[in-house]
Every structure is written in C-alpha cells, then in structure tokens.
Amino acid sequence: MAILKVNNQGAVRNWNGIFNDLFGDFETSNPNFGLNRNGTQIPVNIEEKEGAFEVSLLAAGRNKENFGLNVENQVLTISYNDEKGNEAVNQKMLRKEFGTYNFKRSFNLDEKVNTDAISARYENGILYVTLPKKEEVKPVSKQIAIQ
C-alpha cells in the first residue's frame, strides 16, 4: 500500500510565482506617479497643530535632493524623481520586492495656510512639511471720544 502526500500549497505558490514573473516587471517599466508598487498611494499623515499643519510623508530609502515641493494656486505638490533609480542595471534579479519609485502627490491648501513660510525637513525616512497658519485677524475694539 502506497501513501500519497499531496501538497496543495506548492501548486498555489508555483502559480503565484509564474504570475509574478510574467507581470511583476510591468509596474517598474510603467512609472505611475503617486503610486507605490502595489498600486496604493505613498502614505501621508496630516496633523493640525496649534500654529501649523504638518504633513508627514513616508519616503524611506530616498535622497532628499530628489524631492520637489511646489505651491501654485493654493495647491501643494510633493514629488520625487530619481532618474538614476529607473535605469536598467545589468544584473539578474531573482526577486525584487522594494525600490524607490517616482511619485507625485498634490494637496489643496486652506486659505489659513501661510504659503510664504512653508518649510520641509527629511529625517529617518520621513519627509515632514510644515504649513504655518496665517495670523488670525482679530476685531479691534477701541473707545471713540465724543467732542
């Protein structure tokens, strides 16, 4: 009597491997601005603080020199463009699960944001963009003397 052991996991794993081999490089040959390799956008957190808004963008493994920040018509655009990262390298990749892909994200700014004082810093793989709030115009109350 023979005992046959069936491993269905191997067949599924092999099919996934074939699928990934056939279509896995499509994303790297077709740059989709603003999208990660898995088709989602670059993660962003936006926090409101007392005197400013802070945008935190997850951008690990990137060079700060390749970031671009632009404000035009109350729209903040954050982009990353690395031409060297897109060049084909003569090496045989057995598996590629990460990379630094180009992206572009845009945000509509509130009229409360002082666009002249926007600042940015890049630390520990996170790009922090500080959007200071404008000073609120407070109504002035004054006593008028009658003559």
Within a domain: residue 14? no
What's the pTM value of the predicted model, to 2 decimals? 0.63
Within a domain: residue 27? no
- 38 versus 52: the higher-pLDDT residue is 52
Q: What are phi and psi of 29, to 5 degrees?
A: -85, -15
Within a domain: residue 26? no
- Residue 108's pLDDT band, with cuts at 50, 70 and 90, is very high
Within a domain: residue 44? yes
> Mean per-residue pLDDT for 12-37?
46
Within a domain: residue 61? yes
Q: What is the pLDDT of residues 46-103, one digit of tens each?
A: 999 988 999 999 988 898 999 999 999 999 999 998 877 555 566 777 887 777 788 8
Within a domain: residue 52? yes
Number of compact structural domains in the chain: 1
Within a domain: residue 11? no
- Residue 140's pLDDT band, with cuts at 50, 70 and 90, is confident
Q: What are phi and psi of 11, to 5 degrees?
A: -65, -45
- CATH code, domain carrying 65: 2.60.40.790
Report which of 35, 47, 119 is spatially closest to residue 76, judged by C-alpha positions. 119
Within a domain: residue 68? yes
Domain range enclosing 68? 32-85+98-137
Q: Is the pLDDT of residue 32 over 90?
A: no
